[in-house]
Structures are given as structure tokens and as C-alpha cells.
Amino acid sequence: MIEHQPTSRWIAVEEYLSGVVVRPDQSLRHAVEAALAAGMPPIEVAPNAGKLLKLLVRLAGARRVLEIGTLAGFSTIWMAQGLPDDGRIVTCEYLPRHAEVARANLDRAGLGHLVDVRVGAALDTLRELETEDAGLFDFVFIDADKENNPHYLDWAIRLGRPGTTVVMDNVVWEGAVLEPALDPVNAPGIVAALQMMGEDPRLDATVIQTVGSKGWDGFALALVR
Ligand code: SAH
Ligand code: DHB
Ligand code: MG
């Protein structure tokens, strides 16, 4: 991966905004601490981005959410907080240990009943969801292995419907999208997904660049036509 090189002023402003505007609750603060204590990498979305996910879920009126890449469930908790009481999130996680920490964090947040954590390679889980006829998703958050981003985007469309909202994390990757050779593992998948967002007639998309505790990155927002 590309090293994050956040500047202290970006982080100071992020912390200010987090305290004044974003105001993550105790369950969200605990989820980050539990992930650190479990030795997991600090690669969850920043609090302001998590709150954006919650608000987008609410603005979309989403009832069924699909997440690809759970980690410790930080983004999952944010999105669950934007759902109605009969809402549902299916979240895909490859590592059993991550899924276990996420389940504990979701239960502690009182949101466990809304969330189905599926352990395994997301591409396998997505195929299962299709055969299970799990229903169409209103909102999809893609945030796992970047090599598979174009496949995940295609699955988001297949398991979605016209009007489904798709958000993809890490689409700027410290600027490596301009020079994929800087990160030959991750950058090509990010670039391919961005090209698809611009060219695929099934999508209408934009990207917001972000700075802060997670360095220089970006959030893509796409609407399934
Ligand atoms: N969305 C989380 C962060 C996810 S980090 C948050 O913001 O809180 C990316 C996660 O994707 C890691 O936990 C990693 O184990 C998982 N992952 C990587 N490859 C995967 C795959 N092929 N299928 C499912 N999960 C995968
Ligand atoms: C990594 C993954 C992420 O989803 C992220 O937001 C930051 C870093 C990583 O795999 O390094
Ligand atoms: Mg991410």
C-alpha cells in the first residue's frame, strides 16, 4: 500500500470537526478502540466519512445495505445508525478474526440484529447472495481488496436496482491513480473502477477527494441508472 502521509493540520481540523459536528457516539469510539486493542490496522473510514455514509443511507431512504469489507464494523455501525428499525445490512469480511471483532462491536452498539456478517471472500458471498435471491440492495459500500473493485462495482449493479447508491472508498490512494506503478497491487483496480464509473452507461458518478487522519484519498459516489 501507499504510505499515508497526513499533515498535522489536516488531522487537527478533522478532530475539531469530529468533536463539533460529527460527534460519534460511545459505541463508535469503542469500536475503534477495540480494533486497535485487537491489533487490527487503523484503516476504518474517518469519523466524518462514516457520518457521511450514515446520512447518505438516510437520504437514499435505504432499507437494505450491502457492505464489502467489514474490518471491525466501524463503517457498518455508522450505516446501521442511518437505517430504519426494519433495515438490514449484509457485510462481507474475509478474515474470521475481523468478523468476530465486528460482531462484538455491533452487538455492543445494540445494532447486531440489523447486521448479517458473512465470512469469506466477498466474490463468493456475492454469488451466494444472488443464488439466495437475497433481494435488491438500495445502498452498497465497497471498501475491501482494491484489485477486485471493478468486479465489486459490477456486482453492486447486479444486486442493485435503478436508483441504488454506490459508495467506493480509497479511490485516490495518495494520488497513485495517476501513477499506478507506485502500487501495482491496488492502484490498477482503483483506476479500472474509476474508468467504469465514467464510461459504464449503467452508472452516473463523481469523486470527492479527502484529507485527514487517513491521508490523501477519495470517496466515489455513484448512482445506478
Ligand atoms: N469498511 C471498514 C474498513 C474495511 S478495511 C470501515 O471503514 O470500518 C478492508 C477489509 O476488507 C479488511 O477487514 C479485510 O480483511 C477485508 N477484505 C480484504 N479482502 C477481502 C475479500 N476478498 N473479501 C472480503 N473481505 C476482504
Ligand atoms: C487500506 C484499505 C482501506 O480500505 C483503507 O481505507 C485504507 C487502507 C489498505 O488495505 O491498506
Ligand atoms: Mg477503505
pLDDT at residue 194 in the model:
98
Q: Supply the residue whose CA is at minimum distance from atom 8 of ligand 2.
A: 43
Ligand 1 proximal residues by C-beta, below 6 Å: 43-45, 69-71, 74-75, 92-95, 98, 121-122, 143-145
Q: Which atom of ligand 2 sits closest to the CA of residue 144? A: 4
Sequence-separated (6 or more) residues with CB below 8 Å from residue 140:
65, 66, 67, 68, 156, 159, 160, 164, 165, 166, 167
| Cβ count near 97 (within 10 Å) | 13
Name residues of the chain where pLDDT drops below 50. Answer: none
- The pTM for the full model equals 0.97
Among the four given CATH numbers 3.40.50.150, 3.40.50.2300, 3.20.20.70, 3.40.50.300, the one describing domain 7-224: 3.40.50.150
Q: Which string of DSSP letters, residue by residue, matches 185-223?
A: TTHHHHHHHHHHHHH-TTEEEEEEEE-STT-SEEEEEEE
Compute, in angstroms, the gap from residue 94 CA to the centroid of ligand 1. Answer: 7
Rounded Cα distance between 19 and 191, Å, is 34
Strand partners, 206: 221
pLDDT at residue 36 in the model:
98
Q: Which atom of ligand 1 sits closest to the CA of residue 141? A: 1
pLDDT at residue 135 in the model:
80
CB 174 within 8 A of CB 152: no
Question: Measured from the CB, is residue 170 less than 6 Å from ligand 2?
Answer: yes
pLDDT at residue 21 in the model:
98
Break the chain into its structural domains and give their ranges. 7-224
Burial of 93 (0-12, 13-18, 19+ CB in 10 A): buried
Residue 101 in 3-state DSSP? helix
Burial of 99 (0-12, 13-18, 19+ CB in 10 A): buried
Q: pLDDT for 105-123, tens place per residue?
A: 999 999 999 999 999 999 9
pLDDT at residue 7 in the model:
85
